[in-house]
Structure 1
Amino acid sequence: MIMPVIELREVSRRYDDGPPALREASLTVRPGEAVAILGPSGSGKSTLLNLIAGLDRPDAGTVTVDGVRVDLLGEAGAALYRRSKVGMIFQFFHLLDDLTVTDNVALPARLAGTAGGKADRRAAELLELLGIDRHARTYPNRLSGGERQRVAVARALVNRPPLLLADEPTGALDTAAGQDVSDMLTDLNAEGQTIVVVTHDLALARSCTERTVRIADGRITGDVRSQAVASQAVAPQAVASQDVR
């Protein structure tokens, strides 16, 4: 039996005295799936992402990612979990402008204790895979938005995480660069990488994922899988868990 990469059971989260940001949400994501979490601003999708990433804790329910009970982790445990289990890409890249592209990509591996030479070789593999190896010694502020997002994806994959989380990954890009990133996510998923994309953009959800989970007012209101993949077994061969050649 293949264990899910993500399993949320009856998860709720409330901030201060406001209405629940998340209400009894349950979600299972299998290895190799590409899933879009779709909803308007304030719907609860960012809360859901933060709980999966170990950046927040639920008030009720359980969050399990790749066999780890994320909701039980302390601060140090959550930091270690994010280094080893989750790669994250964001709307605004969050690259360090005083480091080269290679150093940006290799940094999480070095923080995880990987030797410098090995971290740099892994970074070089990913930069080649993502078609930006010619920029290895360039600084991020010299790159286009689409190129910077590719660097961010390489950084997210450097520690071979079983799960890639993307938070509005095309929100700061023009149409052409956004399509480029969407195509890249599609290619990564085709290689077996499990991906969860949080977005309000239905076009992005349709172009790079095979399953759409809708959320509104903190509740999961829909979960639709395309018929083309609904009957297929998903191979648990994540890009993150194998050497990239």
Structure 2
Amino acid sequence: MTMPVIELREVSRRYDDGPPALHEVSLTVRPGEAVAILGPSGSGKSTLLNLIAGLDRPDTGTVTVDGVRVDGLGEAGSALYRRSKVGMVFQFFNLLDDLTVTDNVALPARLAGMARGEADRRAAELLELLGIDRYARVRPGRLSGGERQRVAVARALMNRPALLLADEPTGALDTAAGRDVSRLLGDLNAEGQTLVVVTHDLALARSCTTRTVRIADGRITHDVRSEAVASQGDASHIDASQVVR
């Protein structure tokens, strides 16, 4: 059987003297799955995301991503892990306004030691495939929210990560831009990108994922697989095969 991309075993995390943010959570995500993590504020879904991303450590249990024991990494190891194994997309984009779109996208590869010319070529490929190559020399502040989120997705895919994590990726977008980004994520998964989307938006979960995991009070209460998401077949569809390989 294929090795899981994500494997959490009996993971717990508590902050200060309050109730556990996560309590004995076990979760396995296989290559090519698209999983939505749903739950209200305070349910533990953000803690779960941070543990998978190596931004936090569990008090007990293990976190393994693409063969790496994330819970045992130090600060330098965690940074290297995020550059090589995980691409992250955030609600508010987290782009650097003093850099061009190309430089924002190429940054993870440059931090990983890739030569500038090679990184710029990879960035140009991603921008073209995501339909935003005309903004290559523009700074992010001149773009719409949907365009900035596409730049953020391109940056997350720069190092061909085993796992793409998206934290409320449509939360700061209007309805039309949100649908566009949802279709983009669905297209990427259809071509094999393993995807985990943390959200409170059931419509987003239904549109771009094939498995729903609900969390309440730090525990998984619901884990259901659905049928594959159908492509919308409109102008926003991309040939994602070149992006994820």
Identify the TM-score tier after normalising by the shorter chain.
Answer: over 0.9
The residue number in structure 2 matching 1:51 is 51
The 2-side partners of 1:226 and 1:160 are apart by: 26
The residue number in structure 2 matching 1:221 is 221
The 1-side partners of 2:146 and 2:24 are apart by: 37
SS in 2 for 1:166: strand
SS in 1 for 2:118: helix
Query: Is the CA contact 2:109–2:158 (under 8 Å) kept in the aligned structure 1?
Result: yes
The residue number in structure 1 matching 2:132 is 132
The residue number in structure 2 matching 1:150 is 150
What CA RMSD, in Å, does the superposition of the two structures yield over aligned residues? 1.4
- Structure 2 CA distance for partners of 1:228 and 1:154, relative to 1, 3 Å: closer
The 1-side partners of 2:32 and 2:244 are apart by: 12
CA drift of 1:223 comes to: 0.2
The 2-side partners of 1:74 and 1:240 are apart by: 30
The residue number in structure 1 matching 2:80 is 80
CA drift of 1:41 comes to: 0.5
The 2-side partners of 1:201 and 1:226 are apart by: 16
Kindly provide the amino acid, as one letter, of the partner of residue 138 in structure 2: T
- Superposition TM-score, scaled by structure 2 size: 0.94
The 2-side partners of 1:189 and 1:101 are apart by: 24
CA drift of 1:239 comes to: 6.4
CA drift of 1:228 comes to: 5.3
CA drift of 1:241 comes to: 5.4
Q: Which aligned segments of 4 or more residues in structure 1 are displaced greater than 4 angstroms? A: 237-241
- Structure 2 CA distance for partners of 1:180 and 1:228, relative to 1, 3 Å: closer
The 2-side partners of 1:177 and 1:196 are apart by: 20
The 2-side partners of 1:159 and 1:98 are apart by: 22
The 2-side partners of 1:224 and 1:238 are apart by: 27
Deviation readout 1:156-199 (Å, 9 max, x if unpaired)? 00011000000000000000000000000000001110000000
Give the length in aligned residue pairs: 235
The 2-side partners of 1:241 and 1:132 are apart by: 17
The 2-side partners of 1:228 and 1:124 are apart by: 30
The residue number in structure 2 matching 1:66 is 66
- Superposition TM-score, scaled by structure 1 size: 0.94
Kindly provide the amino acid, as one letter, of the partner of residue 29 in structure 1: V
Q: Which structure 1 residue ranges, 5 or more long, are not aligned?
A: 230-236
The 1-side partners of 2:197 and 2:31 are apart by: 15
The residue number in structure 1 matching 2:92 is 92
SS in 1 for 2:161: coil
Q: Which structure 2 residue ranges, 5 or more long, are not aligned?
A: 230-239
